Amino acid sequence: MFRNSIKRSALVLWRASYLSVVGGCGYLGYSIYKEMNPKPQRLPDDGRKKLVVLGTGWGAISMLKHLDTSLYNVTVVSPRNYFLFTPLLPSVPTGTIDAKSIVDPVRNIAKQTPLEVSYLEAEATHIDPVTRHITVQHSANPATANIAPVAAAIQTQLDYDYLVIAVGAQPNTFGTPGVYEHAYFLKELSDAVKIRSKLMQNIELAQLLPRDSPERERLLTFTVIGGGPTGVELAAEVKDYIDDDLCKWFPGIEGECKVQLIEALPNILNSFNPKLISYSEFILNKIDIDLRVNTMVKNIDSHHITATTRLPNGDSQTVTLPYGVLVWATGNGVRPVVSDLANQLEDQTFAKRGLLVNSFLKVNGALDIFLLGDCTFTKDPPTAQVAHQQGIYLANLLENLARIDELELKLDLLESNDSRVVLLEEMQTKYKQQLKPFKYSHMGALAYIGSERAVADLVWGDWNSVATGGSLTFLFWRVAYVAMSLSVKNKVLICLDWLKMSIFGRDCSKE
């Protein structure tokens, strides 16, 4: 009797697993089919208002994915013709994740919208909020791109009825001498590729020198400035790469190669729970990352960093540290097109790391210009999570605006008073719906800290939170990032990359 019931339970369990696998595969297949075969799109209609979107990052793409594009004639302008899934960018220089697995071409995304969206590969250089003109310039650099100089100089003007600015931020150097000349950033995919190439070039170069040579020691020093999440995740990934894979091709390199993380404040990961900060510092020390806090970098030359270290007794000391590869990850600065617009608007006199917006994400002091993501100057942090939520909010707001505009047009054409009253009531309802301000709902933060460990500072509701770190959190980190990536194709490619790495390890090619 007992044995029978066990047998029956096992059978039920087996059937349930079998059905889940079949169901899961079916759903995945359907999702891939749907993504690869979008419905035919309608062509733009001249009667619609012109909506120009600057940028193809988190804010812009989240808005585009949620917007009913049949309400506008939409033009997207960005020098980058793809969306980049930044949370996994620190995994690219080491080859944990393949560059192609975290990009989604904007034309692909634009194909999934109801009405055709045009895309221009260009950079907005000037916005005139009075005439509603945007100057855009073809962004290719003739020095690096294989195009005629005339193509590189192409400049044109676009006009808009509504403008959405989602140009993000640029790396902030705080005016530190030598950063642009000698350091790498980690902001774009091309940065990750350059870091990889320099790291491998230095390792190969070091093989030509004797083991006790100071130059060999310098070449093998990988330094990251900035102990925010970008700096910590990159240092952790590089250390893993050296300890798990490079040591197979270069025996003894794990003892020779030094990964250094320099932070001006007393702690790293300052936006995280203090318990997680201590845990992360403990792990980074344990895996032998040379962590230097209270150390503010002041100058960089081709081989050395000069920094001021605050000692425990409160005194300051100037230190000079040699480096082989240097990555500058000290946070966000304002893009020129944003500061240019701020300079034209009186209401933006106090704007610092972006433009001031009202609670509907409308730029203070300008008509019909909205702003998203890292280029806003608000109390919300400059994260993908914020930009993504703002994008969804703005898509709804713009849809409502289009409907109100449509009603206004109808109102102008109406002659009977009764119909006018009905229409006016409808408009008032729409206005009320629109009058909900943007409210960011923080879900928490995650960061990879090396040796298959991560930290998670999770929040739900207004009061509940959990701060956790370790190997299980690392699994959660992986699941969360796969879930967050935008396309099914990318989700599959990211999982395959992790599988590939666990079977074959990461290779040591220079590119």
Binding site for ligand NAD (CB under 6 A): 87, 174, 176, 225-231, 233, 262-265, 270-271, 296-297, 329-332, 381-383, 445-447
**Residue 232 beta carbon to ligand NAD: minimum distance, rounded to whole angstroms:** 8
- The residue among 167, 177, 129 whose CA lies nearest residue 354 is 167
| C-alpha to C-alpha distance for 88 and 230, rounded to whole angstroms | 10
Q: Are 408 and 430 in contact (CB under 8 A)?
A: no
Instruction: Report the partner that residue 264 touches, choosing among ligand NAD, ligand FAD, none (CB closer than 5 to 8 A by kind).
Output: ligand NAD
Pick from 374, 399, 457, 497 the residue near ligand FAD by CB under 6 A: 374
By CB under 6 A, residue 168 contacts ligand FAD: yes
By CB under 6 A, residue 384 contacts ligand FAD: yes
Reported as type and span, the H/E element at residue 412 is helix 384-413
**SS3 of 16-70:** HHHHHHHHHHHHHHHHHHHHHCCCCCECCCCCCEEEEEECCCHHHHHHHHHCCHH
**Residue 353 beta carbon to ligand FAD: minimum distance, rounded to whole angstroms:** 12
How open is the CA angle 198-123-112, to the nearest 5 degrees? 95
By CB under 6 A, residue 378 contacts ligand FAD: no
> Strands across the sheet with 295-300, in order?
295-300, 304-310, 316-322
Q: Please identify, using beta-carbon distances, which residue of 78 and 86 lies nearer to ligand NAD.
A: 86
By CB under 6 A, residue 97 contacts ligand FAD: no
Q: Please identify, using beta-carbon distances, which residue of 158 and 446 lies nearer to ligand NAD.
A: 446
How open is the CA angle 262-267-269, to the nearest 5 degrees? 90
Instruction: Report the partner that residue 325 touches, choosing among ligand NAD, ligand FAD, none (CB closer than 5 to 8 A by kind).
Output: none
The region of 15-23, 86-94, 272-280, 435-443 touching ligand FAD under the rule CB under 6 A is 86-94
**Residue 442 beta carbon to ligand NAD: minimum distance, rounded to whole angstroms:** 11
**Residue 263 beta carbon to ligand NAD: minimum distance, rounded to whole angstroms:** 5
Pick from 56, 101, 260, 348 the residue near ligand FAD by CB under 6 A: 56
Q: Which long-range contacts (CB under 8 A, 24 or more apart) does 267-271 make?
A: 267/227, 267/293, 268/227, 268/228, 268/231, 268/232, 268/293, 269/227, 269/228, 269/229, 269/232, 269/447, 269/455, 270/227, 270/228, 271/228, 271/229, 271/381, 271/445
By CB under 6 A, residue 76 contacts ligand FAD: no
**Residue 421 beta carbon to ligand FAD: minimum distance, rounded to whole angstroms:** 42
Is the backbone of residue 107 left (phi > 0), alpha (psi -120 to 50) or beta?
Answer: alpha
Contacts of 22 (CB under 8 A, 6+ apart): none
Pick from 63, 92, 110, 124 the residue near ligand FAD by CB under 6 A: 124
The one-character DSSP state at 438 is: P
- The residue among 511, 500, 456 whose CA lies nearest residue 478 is 456
**Residue 159 beta carbon to ligand FAD: minimum distance, rounded to whole angstroms:** 16
Pick from 387, 398, 449, 467 the residue near ligand FAD by CB under 6 A: 387
Residue carrying the six token digits 């040379």: 290
How open is the CA angle 409-414-415, to the nearest 5 degrees? 150
> Strands across the sheet with 133-138, in order?
155-159, 133-138, 118-128, 72-78, 49-54, 162-165, 369-371
Tokens of 185: 């950033």
Q: Please identify, using beta-carbon distances, which residue of 14 and 174 lies nearer to ligand NAD.
A: 174
Tokens of 432: 């009320």
Instruction: Report the partner that residue 227 touches, choosing among ligand NAD, ligand FAD, none (CB closer than 5 to 8 A by kind).
Output: ligand NAD
Tokens of 395: 């898509």
Q: Please identify, using beta-carbon distances, which residue of 234 and 257 lies nearer to ligand NAD.
A: 234
By CB under 6 A, residue 60 contacts ligand FAD: yes
**Residue 480 beta carbon to ligand FAD: minimum distance, rounded to whole angstroms:** 9
Q: What share of the chain is helix, strand, coil (3-state, %, to 5)?
A: 45, 25, 30
| C-alpha to C-alpha distance for 355 and 334, rounded to whole angstroms | 9
Here's the x/- map for ligand FAD, 225-244, by CB under 6 A: it reads as -----x--------------
Pick from 44, 51, 59, 449 the residue near ligand FAD by CB under 6 A: 59
Tokens of 295: 């150390």
Q: Please identify, using beta-carbon distances, which residue of 91 and 202 lies nearer to ligand NAD.
A: 91
| C-alpha to C-alpha distance for 430 and 424, rounded to whole angstroms | 10
Instruction: Report the partner that residue 228 touches, choosing among ligand FAD, ligand NAD, none (CB closer than 5 to 8 A by kind).
Output: ligand NAD
Q: Please identify, using beta-carbon distances, which residue of 365 and 469 lies nearer to ligand NAD.
A: 469
Instruction: Report the partner that residue 333 touches, choosing among ligand NAD, ligand FAD, none (CB closer than 5 to 8 A by kind).
Output: none
By CB under 6 A, residue 224 contacts ligand FAD: no
By CB under 6 A, residue 74 contacts ligand FAD: no
The region of 288-296, 350-358, 377-385, 420-428 touching ligand FAD under the rule CB under 6 A is 377-385
Q: Please identify, using beta-carbon distances, which residue of 241 and 328 lies nearer to ligand NAD.
A: 328
User: Which residues contribute to the site for ligand FAD (CB under 6 A)?
Assistant: 54-60, 77-80, 86-87, 89-90, 123-124, 166-168, 186-187, 230, 335, 337, 372-375, 382-385, 387
